[in-house]
Structure 1
Amino acid sequence: MAEALPPQLRQIQHHLRTGQEHEKRDPVVAYYCRLYAMQTGMKLDSKTPECRKFLVKLMDQLEKMKKELGDNESISQELVGHAHIENYALKMFLYADNEDRSGRFHKNMIKSFYTASLLLDVLSVFGELSEENFQHRKYAKWKATYIHNCLKNGEMPQSGPIGMEGDSVIDTLQDARAVSMPSQPSQPSPHVLPRDGPGANANFSNIQIPPGAHAPANTPAEVPHCTGEVRLTPEDYTRAQKYCKYAGSALQYEDVGAAVQNLQKALKLLTTGRE
């Protein structure tokens, strides 16, 4: 949007910028970033003339995008849209987390942490965040700020969740990595992700990370076997359906590892009644 952002709506500027960056790369991400910005902007200030004018233009842009993307299931079906955004956010998070734990600190990994946190914000358009996504968002925002400040001041950051308050954050991250990360993560291609050494100044507005280029492969887990009769609740069926949608979204990015992982989660839930 060419319209200048009113200062009262400054809180949504990074979500709008992320939407702009994904205009051509991933229009679904762009759409939901703008939807989040519009919903948040309405709560911030929908009364003053400049804010109302800005938000009306944003609504018009969303309506236009919705018509153009009308055939896309990620727009027409909330469950698929949620899976699309969550998958994208967690792929960025896992890439940045892997770089961080390997001691590789550079602008792209900071950008990846930061964008992941913004996209986890965006998930709130579908309802309340899960505890796992809430903790991932909190950690990603902290890490992006912490590493950015260290490099800006010429200091060497500490890898991993060391030094962050709240054991629940660390526990959640360790649990997530146990099922999401391979034992030997694949390394990003140097021509896709240029690295910057300590002292680089992180600029969140101009680093391009192509989707799928930074996602580590996933190690398939053992397929669970059905033991006896399993009584499933309606919530179990909903969760299994969600994992199948996630798998479909991963295949859009040709991310076989994530697709297999989510299908295995669905299979385990349906065969054992547990996640």
Structure 2
Amino acid sequence: MSLPPDLKLIAPFIKRSTELTAVQPTVAYLCKLYAAELILNNQLHLKAKDIETYALGLLDEIEKDKLALKETSEKSYNLINDPESSFKLVWGFATSIFNRSFNEIANHTASKKTVDNFKAALDFYQVLNLWPEQLDSRREELEKSKKYAKFHSMRILKALKNNQDPNDYVTPEEEREVGSWSQDQPQDDDDDDAVSLPEPPSEIRSPEKSEHASPVASPPLLPSAPDSLDESLNLPAAPAIIKEEPNKLGMPKAPVKLPKPSPPQAKAPEHPPLSKEDISEMIKTDEVISQAQKRAKFAISALNYEDVETAIKELQQALELLQGK
């Protein structure tokens, strides 16, 4: 399906889902699910016919992907139905990508790919909004990670644009270390002259591997992201034919009395041909039923991730359509 121009809001998550379909189908499914939630929560499917058509197609894809996960991996299927497990998977996956860029900055090997990975990590961190209850406990840590990624991404892009080395940069930690050497005494970590940057997520350790690091394996490098960060999911069997049993006793049947012929009856008047008004009314009825079915489908999708408010709105609209309001 081609993405309608007015759905730029979900473009990053559809892109990430496409990238991961073959290598990490569970995360790909969750990205697609988040994209669908954005459409429903923002009522975008009510704004244009092409968006509504796309949304319905996306919901069908999500259902097919869910069935595929159930058939191929019971563990993955149970995971996507458990908020706590789903949150941990996406958090670990996003952090593993974040770690790559973090280590490249620490080792002075930053490049355009560093920015690409920061952008991908930020997209996956955004998917965590599917589970607000789990996200609340880590929101402060997440905001620090976002600030860190955006600061260094803009710094690296600016250096590359000016044909400068993005690794010709002294971190606040290095500044403090140099200052302590020159003064031959320890320097306070809260020095006002140092650039204040947020700390990375608690899972990040650079460059050695930490025993507490996220167990999620690092995925393959993702395709390049845009240069700018501002461009930020059987019919039942027919009944058997009943055959009449033969006369088991072999008794002769009573003679059949033929009924007296009845006088011919007049034919019932034929139904008049359908008028244009009749056909128009039938088409209108079919359209109303079709629209009501769509509203009900959106409601079911909303309930799949406990969005009760959206489900109620969709069901109310379906009821109004059927009542002719």
Band the TM-score falls in, shorter-chain normalisation: 0.5 to 0.7
Paired residue for 1:113?
118
Mapping for residues 75-114 of structure 1, pairs under 5 Å: 75-114=80-119
Tell me: CA distance 1:146–1:51, structure 2 relative to 1, closer, same or farther (3 Å): farther
What is aligned with 1:46? 45
Does structure 2 retain, via aligned residues, the 8 Å contact 1:96–1:110? Answer: yes
Return closer, same or farther for 1:20/1:161 CA change in 2, 3 Å cut-off: farther
Deviation, 1:254, is 9.3
Give TM-score, length-normalised by structure 2.
0.51
**Distance in 2 between residues matched to 1:35 and 1:161, nearest whole Å:** 39
| Equivalent residues of 2:21, 2:28 under 8 A apart | yes
| Unmatched tracts of structure 2, length 5 or more | 174-194, 220-325
Q: Separation in 1 of the partners of 2:158 and 2:67?
A: 42
The CA RMSD over aligned residues, in Å, is 2.9
2:149 and 2:141 map into 1 onto residues whose CA distance is 12
* Bigger radius of gyration: 2
Counterpart-to-counterpart distance in 2, 1:60 and 1:145: 38
Counterpart Cα distance in 2 of 1:254 and 1:104:
18
Runs of 4+ in 1 over 6 A off after TM superposition: none
Distance (Å, rounded) in 1 between the aligned partners of 2:69 and 2:38: 22
Give 5+ residue unaligned stretches, structure 1.
186-216, 222-245, 256-275
* TM-aligned CA distance change 1:26 to 1:12, over 3 Å: same
Q: State the AA in 1 paired with 2:17.
A: G
Aligned-pair identity (%): 23
- Contact conserved, 2:93 with 2:218, CA < 8 A, in 1? no
Q: CA deviation at 1:90?
A: 0.6
TM-score, reference length from structure 1: 0.59
Q: Residue 57 of structure 1 aligns to a residue in which SS?
A: helix
Match of 1:181 in 2: 205
- Aligned pairs for 1:126-141 (under 5 A) are 126-127=131-132, 128-129=135-136, 130=138, 131-141=140-150
CA contact (8 A) 2:101 2:110 kept: no
Q: Tell me, yes or no, if the aligned pair for 1:38 and 1:55 is still in contact at 8 Å.
A: yes
Give the count of matched residue pairs: 186
Amino acid at match of 1:60: D
Distance 1:37 1:160, change over 3 A: farther
Give, as a single letter, the amino acid of the residue that structure 1 aligns with 2:163: G
Question: Do the aligned partners of 2:96 and 2:218 also contact (CA within 8 Å) in 1?
Answer: no
Letter in 1 for 2:162: N
Matched AA of 2:159? C
**2:163 paired residue among 154, 161, 182:** 154
